[in-house]
Chains A and B, each alone.
Chain A
Amino acid sequence: SYVLTQPPSVSVAPGQTARITCGGNNIGSKSVHWYQQKPGQAPVVVVYDDSDRPSGIPERFSGSNSGNTATLTISRVEAGDEADYYCQVWDSSGGHVVFGGGTKVIVL
């Protein structure tokens, strides 16, 4: 089955840039979606189709996807961005939705 690998945590100072990676075999051939989840809340999609943002999501959130790695980039990080972030793909060959293990973004 298809596996997505994320680092457990990323630490970043306010105002700096956080980059969260999501590794998978030839993930560049798939569409990657990213969710933000704050404690006690349901997940919210922040990027879909590799790099598109839903309405209401700040432009500070951006995504890219190539080769074996997809990346969520959060520019000008704010304290309110501290959360868990999950990547997700649809594995059509297996008929499964796949989530990465999640990355905790820590704002120093």
Chain B
Amino acid sequence: EVQLLESGGGLVQPGGSLRLSCAASGFTFSSYAMSWVRQAPGKGLEWVSTITGSGDTTYYADSVKGRFTISRDNSKNTVYLQMNSLRAEDTAVYYCAKDDNGSPYYMDVWGRGTTVTVSS
């Protein structure tokens, strides 16, 4: 069974940093792109970032470019999201999602999400 388990969320002050992790199982991890999608309270889905299966190409939403970094360790079946210079508007549930193939396309499996709250 394909599973994604996010961790690392929590409360952080504005300007602070947080690293999210997503542990994957049940599929050949290195063959698939992985994405982070967030959802602010009461709002819709917002794509954050995607990394290809090989890890050689990354994509970012304009709202996080230069502040967030996506990476993956294919030996650990884990994808990460390093979040720096956090703002109140980054408060959201962050979902990890598996893409359908090695490059960005659509997300066929989602984790349950981890909550990030940016507040003083």
Contacts and interface: CB of A to CB of B under 8 A. Distances in A.
Interface stretch (A10-18, A73-81, A96-104): A96-104
Range for the number of chain B residues in contact with chain A: 20 to 34
A102 B46 CA distance: 11
Interface in A20-73: 31, 33, 35, 37, 42-45, 48, 54
Contacts of A95: 59
Contacts of B46: 99
Given A1-B62, A42-B112, A43-B110, A90 B45 contact: no
Which residue, of B45, B100, B112, has the highest number of chain A Cβ atoms within 10 A?
A: B45
Interface of B: 35, 37, 44-47, 50, 59, 61-62, 95, 100, 104-108, 110-113
Interface of A: 1, 31, 33, 35, 37, 42-45, 48, 54, 84, 86, 88, 90, 95-102
